């Protein structure tokens, strides 16, 4: 379960994509995997970062066809099984779905500066609105936009301190 979770957090892949990943679709040297079974039906390439490669390298030699297995056999059912719930309990997590790993991955990317367009391609989403549903808590990229109307910035912005000060004089 650990390798599957590490791979999910490194790639944002869905459970079905991970469980169906076969060695003939992975190039460890080039750091890529090819997913032919995706939710939206469009095959896509997945760049593998060091964490994803490490998770895969731990699985080399365990099965001739599938990358992720349990006791040497492919995992045919959903990953949310007894092993998943046992891992959650050991980690002290409650009300956590496997798919939440994808949300976490997307949020980490946005917080690290990955653009929405890059994230859309990385996650295999067809629309920007789907990216927005997944990637939460990223506001650093908005700091520049917010500063555009600060006091003293160039442009036709009312100086708020003068406005407030002038309003106080009229009341007195």
Looking at 44, 62, 99, 103, which residue is catalytic? 99
Among 147, 136, 82, CA closest to 109:
136
| 99 tagged catalytic | yes
162 is catalytic: no
Looking at 84, 102, 110, 120, which residue is catalytic?
Answer: 102
Cβ neighbours of residue 58 under 8 Å, at least 6 residues apart?
3
Catalytic residue among 84, 109, 120, 134: 134
**Catalytically annotated residue among 39, 97, 133, 148:** 39
For residue 136, indicate whether it is catalytic: no
Order of strands, edge to edge, in the sheet holding 26-27?
26-27, 32-35, 44-47
Non-local (6+) Cβ contacts of 164 within 8 A are: none
Catalytic annotation present for 102: yes
Are 2 and 83 within 8 A, CB to CB?
Answer: no
| Residue among 84, 110, 120, 125 flagged as catalytic | 125
Check 14, 109, 110, 120 and give the catalytic one: 14
Active site (catalytic) residues = 14, 39, 99, 102, 125, 134
């Amino acid at each position: 379960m650990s390798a599957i979770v590490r791979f999910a957090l490194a790639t944002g892949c869905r459970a079905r994509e991970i469980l169906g990943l076969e060695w003939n679709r992975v190039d460890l040297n080039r750091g890529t995997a090819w997913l032919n079974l995706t939710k939206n039906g469009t095959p896509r390439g997945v760049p593998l970062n060091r964490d994803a490669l490490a998770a895969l390298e731990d699985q080399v030699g365990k099965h001739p066809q599938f990358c992720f297995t349990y006791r040497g056999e492919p995992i045919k059912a959903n990953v949310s099984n007894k092993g998943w719930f046992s891992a959650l309990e050991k980690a002290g997590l409650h009300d956590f779905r496997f798919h939440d790993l994808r949300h976490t991955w997307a949020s980490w990317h946005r917080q690290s500066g990955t653009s929405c367009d890059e994230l859309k391609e990385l996650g295999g989403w067809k629309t920007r609105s789907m990216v927005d549903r997944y990637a939460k808590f990223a506001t650093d990229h908005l700091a520049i936009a917010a500063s555009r109307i600060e006091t003293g910035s160039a442009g036709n912005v009312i100086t708020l301190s003068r406005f407030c000060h002038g309003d106080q004089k009229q009341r007195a």
